C-alpha cells in the first residue's frame, strides 16, 4: 500500500517570539515495513538532519530572529509492506523495560495487566491486553493533555491514542516485556481524519510487534511510522521551547491517502 501524506502545522503567537527551538521528528526512514519513496520538509530555514538517540531522523530548528509564526510542512509518499507484521532490531530492547514518568505502572495498571495476561507472555496475551485497554479507556478527543500519564488516563477511563499507547506500555513493561511508543500517521477509510497517530510496539521473540489499542489493530498495514521512543516525549513529531510570544495557537492539517499506483510509478 502506498500512502501519500501532506502534513502542515502552523504555530501563531500573540506577540513576537524572540527565540525558539524545536525538535522535529517528521521524517520517516526506511525499515522492513516501509520504504520512503520521497519526502520533503518545508521549514522556515534550512536544517541539517541528524539521528536522535532512538535512530529517528531529527531536525533541530533554531530560530533566533523575532517571529510571530512558524510553518512546518511535511509531505511525501511511503510504500507500506502490508504483509510485514514485525520488525527486527540490532540494538538491545532491554532499555525499553524501564518505566518513564508518563508510563509508570501504578497498582491498578499492574493488576489489569496481570488479569489479562496471567502467566502468558506471548502475542496473544498482549492482544487480549490490547482489547482490554480498548474497552477500559474510551476514546474521547480532548479528554486528556500531553502531560497526562498512563495511570491518570487509566483511572479516568478516557483518553486519546497517546494515552492508549502509554497504558499499553506501562502494562507490558510491568509484565517484563520491553515495549516502546511509536508515532506516525494512520490511514482510515472514514471521514474523521484520524491521521496523526500513536501506537505501541512490544518486543516478542526477537522482533517488535505493533499494538494499536485505539483501533484494535495488530497488523500495522495502515500505519506509517515516523519515530519511536520510550514514550510520547521521546517520539512526538514536534517538541519545542520558546522565549516570548505569549499564547500559542497551533493548527495542524494532515491528509493521508492511498496513492494511485500509476502516478507514483511515473515519478
Partner 1 sequence: MDRKYYDEMYDAQGKCRPHYLEFARWLAAIPPEQLAQRRREADLLFHRAGITFTLYGDEQGTERLIPFDTIPRSIPASEWRMVERGCIQRVQALNMFLADLYHEQRIIKAGIIPAEQVLANEGYQIAMQGLNLHRDLYAHIAGVDLVRDGDGSYYVLEDNLRTPSGVSYMLEDRKMMMRLFPELFAAQRIAPINHYPNLLLETLKTSSPLDNPNVVVLTPGRFNSAYFEHAFLSREMGVELVEGADLFVRDDKVYMRTTAGAKQVDVIYRRLDDDFLDPLAFNPDSMLGVPGLLSAYRSGHVVLANAIGTGVADDKSTYPYVTEMIRFYLDEEPILKNVPTWQCSKPADLSHVLANLGELVVKETQGSGGYGMLVGPAASKAEIEDFRARLIAKPEAYIAQPTLCLSTCPTFVETGIAPRHIDLRPFVLSGREVRLVPGGLTRVALREGSLVVNSSQGGGTKDTWVVEDLKNAE
What track of x and - describes contact with partner 1 for positions 80 through 109 (by CB under 8 A)?
-----------xx-xx-xx-----------
Count, residues in the chain: 267
Smallest gap from residue 52 Cβ to partner 1 (A)? 8
Name the one range near partner 1 by CB under 8 A: 16-24, 67-75, 187-195, 219-227.
16-24
The whole-angstrom separation of Cα 183 and Cα 218 is 15
Smallest gap from residue 58 Cβ to partner 1 (A)? 7
Element spanning 139, H or E: strand 138-139
φ, ψ for residue 73, nearest 5 deg: -120, 135
- Distances in whole angstroms, Cα of residue 69 to Cα of each of 11, 19, 72, 137, 190: 5, 12, 10, 35, 32
Residues 6+ away with beta carbon under 8 Å from 143: 156, 158, 159, 160
Q: Which of 2, 121, 123, 239 binds partner 1 (CB under 8 A)?
A: 239
Judged by CB under 8 A, does residue 58 bind partner 1? yes
| 242: β partners | 20
Smallest gap from residue 244 Cβ to partner 1 (A)? 14
Judged by CB under 8 A, does residue 13 bind partner 1? no
Judged by CB under 8 A, does residue 266 bind partner 1? no
Point out which residues bind partner 1 (CB under 8 A): 19, 21, 23, 47-48, 50, 52-54, 58, 60, 62, 64, 91-92, 94-95, 97-98, 147, 230, 233, 239-241
Amino acid at each position: 500500500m502506498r500512502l501519500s501524506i501532506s502534513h502542515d502545522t502552523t504555530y501563531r503567537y500573540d506577540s513576537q517570539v524572540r527565540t525558539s527551538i524545536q525538535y522535529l521528528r517528521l521524517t520517516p526512514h526506511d525499515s522492513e515495513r516501509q520504504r520512503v519513496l520521497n519526502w520533503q520538509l518545508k521549514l522556515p530555514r534550512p536544517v541539517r538532519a541528524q539521528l536522535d538517540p532512538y535512530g529517528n531522523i531529527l531536525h533541530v530548528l533554531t530560530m533566533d530572529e523575532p517571529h510571530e509564526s512558524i510553518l512546518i510542512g511535511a509531505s511525501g509518499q511511503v510504500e507500506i509492506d502490508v504483509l510485514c507484521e514485525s520488525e527486527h532490531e540490532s540494538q538491545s530492547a532491554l532499555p525499553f523495560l524501564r518505566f518513564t514518568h508518563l508510563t509508570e505502572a501504578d497498582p491498578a495498571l499492574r493488576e489489569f495487566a496481570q488479569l489479562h495476561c496471567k502467566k502468558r507472555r506471548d502475542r496473544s496475551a498482549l492482544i487480549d491486553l490490547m482489547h482490554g485497554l480498548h474497552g477500559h479507556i474510551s476514546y474521547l478527543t480532548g479528554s486528556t493533555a500531553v502531560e497526562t500519564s498512563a495511570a491518570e488516563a487509566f483511572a479516568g477511563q478516557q483518553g486519546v491514542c497517546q494515552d492508549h499507547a502509554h497504558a499499553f506500555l506501562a502494562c507490558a513493561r510491568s509484565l517484563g516485556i520491553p515495549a516502546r511508543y511509536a508515532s506516525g500517521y494512520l490511514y482510515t477509510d472514514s471521514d474523521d481524519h484520524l491521521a496523526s497517530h500513536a501506537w505501541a510496539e512490544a518486543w516478542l521473540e526477537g522482533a517488535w510487534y505493533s499494538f494499536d489499542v485505539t483501533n484494535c489493530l495488530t497488523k500495522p498495514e495502515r500505519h506509517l511510522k515516523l519515530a519511536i521512543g520510550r514514550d510520547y516525549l521521546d517520539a512526538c513529531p514536534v517538541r519545542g521551547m520558546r522565549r516570548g510570544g505569549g499564547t500559542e495557537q497551533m493548527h495542524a492539517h494532515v491528509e493521508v491517502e492511498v496513492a494511485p499506483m500509476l502516478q507514483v510509478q511515473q515519478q
